[in-house]
Amino acid sequence: MITQFNKWKLHDLLPLPSWVHQSGKVTLLGDSCHAALPYLGQGAAGAFEDAACLGRMLRTSPSILTALYSFQQIRKPRSTVIQVKSRMHQEILHVEDGAFQVERDQKMAKDGEENPLFWGSLERRKWLFDYDAEVASNIENLSFIV
């Protein structure tokens, strides 16, 4: 019955090779470097985690260059997993009715490794929701490659 509507495209990024500019003076954070489809509901959470980590690195590192590369080293692996898993959720959540969907639903009913949803296992839920960006940033003597 609706006569007017707006289409809102969902975009994501493939994982970038680097978030820090080669000058070592500027970094991306949040959606600008790890935009993900919204199927894990982690984009804003990730931007806040980035901010907490970057703040800590800027407070505690001997130089801006060290702070930015440490930030990238701590945050990029986790953000990359979330980007990739968010894309996978798009597929998992939009399966056509049929045999594959029935099998998916059976697997989704059980908590554990076999559950196709990322948060369908306790271990993965803990990884996703128990994360403390301040604690994760409390790593001494980080080594990084410029």
Ligand X SMILES: Cc1cc2nc3c(=O)[nH]c(=O)nc-3n(C[C@H](O)[C@H](O)[C@H](O)COP(=O)(O)OP(=O)(O)OC[C@H]3O[C@@H](n4cnc5c(N)ncnc54)[C@H](O)[C@@H]3O)c2cc1C
The residues of the shown chain that bind ligand X, judged by CB under 6 A, are: 30-31, 38, 41-45, 47
DSSP 134: H
Task: Give me the residue label for tokens 């996703």.
Answer: 128
By CB atoms closer than 10 A (0-12, 13-18, 19+), residue 27 is: buried
Shortest CB 89 distance to ligand X, Å: 12
Shortest CB 20 distance to ligand X, Å: 16
Shortest CB 102 distance to ligand X, Å: 28
Shortest CB 112 distance to ligand X, Å: 24
CB nearer ligand X, residue 8 or residue 145: 8
Shortest CB 90 distance to ligand X, Å: 12
CB nearer ligand X, residue 15 or residue 38: 38
CB nearer ligand X, residue 55 or residue 66: 55
CB nearer ligand X, residue 8 or residue 146: 8
Rounded to 10 degrees, the C-alpha dihedral 20/125/14/34 comes to -40
CB nearer ligand X, residue 31 or residue 142: 31
Q: Rounded to whole angstroms, how far apart are CA atoms 88 and 22?
A: 31
SS3 assignment, position 136: helix
φ, ψ of residue 110 to 5 degrees: the values are -110, 135
- Vertex 30, ends 26 and 36: CA angle to 5°? 135
